[in-house]
Structure 1
């Protein structure tokens, strides 16, 4: 008399594909960009219309030359009052940040999260061969984490 199994026949194990975990998989590649000779008022309008807090500034070759943010716009608004100038009449190049930290598309979202944690940045431009190819924000990392929460997070 042998032992009977009531479990039935077991299904073959299914190989679970590992979820994407690179910046490239979660970055935004359809970007709103500005040129350095545009006016701050144009930035304000675009930020409000698109519900974003900042955007890259590029040259004609789509190379990153800076970032303009809502905080940069606040500086212009503040100076307008002090110097009695119309709000938004200054060019972006006078207010944009030019010392911009960039990242590579092959950085893991975990390493990117660490960069966000260690710095006060809200977004990182993603650059490849000198050209802007995307942006990743804190919000993008949060979305990635939620998508991966059921996965094994070991690489």
Structure 2
């Protein structure tokens, strides 16, 4: 079994110069938690998730992890100003681009399992040999694939 057998080909992605506001609209509209980040040539340059947004919103001087707790700590206006500042930042400023894992369409199924389990990622970009994003796979895609193609046989 290869990655191409269960990857999602219709990729929702963002450009690195899009704003966090535009990112959030895509995440909410498509009911997803993260997307690949690409340059103008559609080359993979990073990944960005709802977790990256929450980390960007967290007060730097506090140890607050939970977004809702952060809102309680700050005055309402100060919180709104902080949120709006992050919303106007580019995705490039909050994305993950270190230790970026990806797979190729012809990689074995087991490679995706290894990355998803060892590195606790929820989603992995699939790129072609030129470095362009051609799909994504998620934990849910793997579970559905196992259920439909292995357990149901």
Quote the Cα distance in structure 1 between the aligned partners of 2:93 and 2:10. Answer: 26
Q: Which runs of 5+ in 1 are unaligned?
A: 1-20
Distance 1:36 1:117 in 2: 27
Moved over 3 A (4+): none
- Counterpart among 22, 25, 31 of residue 5 in structure 2: 25
Instruction: Give the TM-score normalised by structure 2.
Output: 0.77
How large is the RMSD of aligned CA atoms in angstroms?
A: 2.0
- Picking from 10, 16, 27, the partner of 1:47 is 27
More helix by share: 2
* Count of paired positions: 131
1:57 to 15, 37, 46: 37
Q: Residues of 1 paired with 2:138 and 2:83: CA distance?
A: 33
1:78 to 58, 68, 79: 58
**Cα deviation digits, residues 100-137 of structure 1 (max 9, x gap):** 11111122223322321112111111111211111111
SS of residue paired to 2:8: coil
Instruction: State the TM-score, normalized to the length of structure 1.
Output: 0.76
In the aligned structure 2, how far is the partner of 1:68 from the partner of 1:36?
A: 10
Separation in structure 2 between the aligned mates of residue 107 and residue 78 of structure 1, nearest angstrom = 37
Instruction: Tell me the equivalent position of 1:139.
Output: 140
